[in-house]
Amino acid sequence: MTNIRDTLAKYLVLDLTTFQIREEQKGPMEDPTVLKSDLCRTSELWLRRIEPGTFLMGSPKDELGRSRHEDQRQVTLTAPFYLGVFQVTEKQYKMVAGRKGLGSISEHFFGRAKPVNVDYFTIRGTEDWPESSNVAPDSFLGLLRGRTGLDFDLPTEAQWEYACRAGTETALNDGRDITHEEECPNLNRLAQNYFSTRCYRNKEGATPAPVGKHLPNAWGLFDMHGNIWEWCLDFYAEKLGTESAVDPKGPKEGSYRVNRGGDFEDLAYMCRSANRNRSVSRWKQLYCTINVGFRLALTL
């Protein structure tokens, strides 16, 4: 492929042994053989094309579990982008950056096909966003960009929610709402969360699941609910406001970065499409137990 910017492929697949990209029209949602192999969780990174569009970001005032930080507004995204089908796993991370920034919790508690647990600064190596999309050369994204020549990054908060919803306006991305703020059978189909069968009732205790073990949304993205929180580019804003926005990038400064999606220890209301969370960009202790990972984005 000579120009990734011109591709219309439904999926892009990055081979982490050669750092070459190929195009695919069928992904893990359409082709069960992809999910049967661990390649998509270990030595390949799969990204799904997301077309631009307009959606309602945030939650309606009557949504069960809603917080005051979820102002509902119309958001328009003007450019297509690719987003990781899965959260980046421990093995995938190590194939790019080795053990850089990883602590004992991530390595011994999460596992090779489970989502990596890593801080924002380790991923990007800089706090420049939104003034600049540059990353540090020795960061995960810096190394990945250097080997591919492509400007991979984290998604913006708006891109993340747009992709998570996949056209829905409900609390969950399959068109359903949660039935209870704590335990919800609707959520258990989609997410590794506190009350899911594989987690709460697991004799080995609560852990993230290997990526891709729950149902995807309509756009073929897995684990957008639960499993592990995901970093977004934006600084966290207490209030997003209700005015419409085009390609929002978040506040120009702040003390925290946005996390989305919920994790394997969270109750149902924390895993809704509109729920917003925050974490400091850099963890002071490498054995930190904050459950935050990421998925890749590539805006065209």
Q: Which helix (H) or strand (E) holds 257?
A: strand 257-260
Backbone angles phi, psi at 65, to 5 degrees: 85, 0
What was the pLDDT predicted at 189?
85
- Provide the mean pLDDT of the chain: 90
What was the pLDDT predicted at 2?
41
Range from 1-15, 38-52, 72-86, 188-202 carrying the lowest mean pLDDT: 188-202
Q: Quick check: 49 and 80 in contact, CB under 8 A? A: yes
Model confidence at 200: pLDDT above 70: no
Arithmetic mean of pLDDT, 120-124: 95
Q: Quick check: 175 and 160 in contact, CB under 8 A? A: no
What domain range includes position 114?
Answer: 4-299
Model confidence at 203: pLDDT above 60: no
What was the pLDDT predicted at 1?
42
Arithmetic mean of pLDDT, 81-107: 87
Arithmetic mean of pLDDT, 211-235: 95
Report the 10 Å Cβ neighbour count for 132: 9
What was the pLDDT predicted at 285?
55
Q: Which helix (H) or strand (E) holds 39?
A: helix 39-42
Nearest by Cα to 282 from 118, 144, 155, 142: 118
What was the pLDDT predicted at 196?
66
What was the pLDDT predicted at 155?
98
Question: What digits encode the pLDDT tens for the residues 141-156?
Answer: 999 999 999 999 999 9
- Coil, strand or helix: which one is 207? coil
Report the 10 Å Cβ neighbour count for 25: 10
Q: Quick check: 117 and 290 in contact, CB under 8 A? A: yes
Number of structural domains (the chain) is 1
**How far is Cα 42 from Cα 150, in angstroms, rounded to an integer?**
20
**How far is Cα 89 from Cα 94, in angstroms, rounded to an integer?**
9
Alpha helices in the chain (DSSP H): 32-36, 39-42, 90-97, 104-105, 120-124, 140-148, 157-165, 185-188
Distance of CA 285 to the CA centre of its chain: 23
**How far is Cα 231 from Cα 62, in angstroms, rounded to an integer?**
27
Name the band, by pLDDT with cuts 50, 70 and 90, for residue 192. confident
**Which one is predicted more confidently, 195 or 164?**
164
Q: Quick check: 136 and 187 in contact, CB under 8 A? A: no
Name the band, by pLDDT with cuts 50, 70 and 90, for residue 3. low
**How far is Cα 205 from Cα 69, in angstroms, rounded to an integer?**
31
The alpha carbon torsion through 53, 54, 55, 56 (nearest 10 deg) reads 160
Name the band, by pLDDT with cuts 50, 70 and 90, for residue 289. low
Model confidence at 166: pLDDT above 90: yes
What was the pLDDT predicted at 143?
97
**191, HSE (Cβ side, Cα atoms, 13 Å):** 32
CATH at residue 165 = 3.90.1580.10
Q: Quick check: 118 and 294 in contact, CB under 8 A? A: yes
Model confidence at 280: pLDDT above 70: yes
**How far is Cα 136 from Cα 121, in angstroms, rounded to an integer?**
9
Determine what percent of the chain is predicted with pLDDT higher than 70.
Answer: 89
What residues form DSSP beta bridges with 270?
A: none
**Residues 6 or more apart in contact with residue 37 via CB below 8 angstroms:** none
Range from 58-72, 207-221, 276-290 carrying the lowest mean pLDDT: 276-290
Name the band, by pLDDT with cuts 50, 70 and 90, for residue 104. low
What was the pLDDT predicted at 141?
98
Name the band, by pLDDT with cuts 50, 70 and 90, for residue 24. very high
Beta strands in 61-121 (DSSP E): 73-77, 81-84
Name the band, by pLDDT with cuts 50, 70 and 90, for residue 133. very high
Q: How far apart are the first and last CA of the chain?
A: 15
Nearest by Cα to 260 from 100, 89, 70: 70
Arithmetic mean of pLDDT, 117-136: 95
Nearest by Cα to 262 from 289, 224, 209, 205: 224
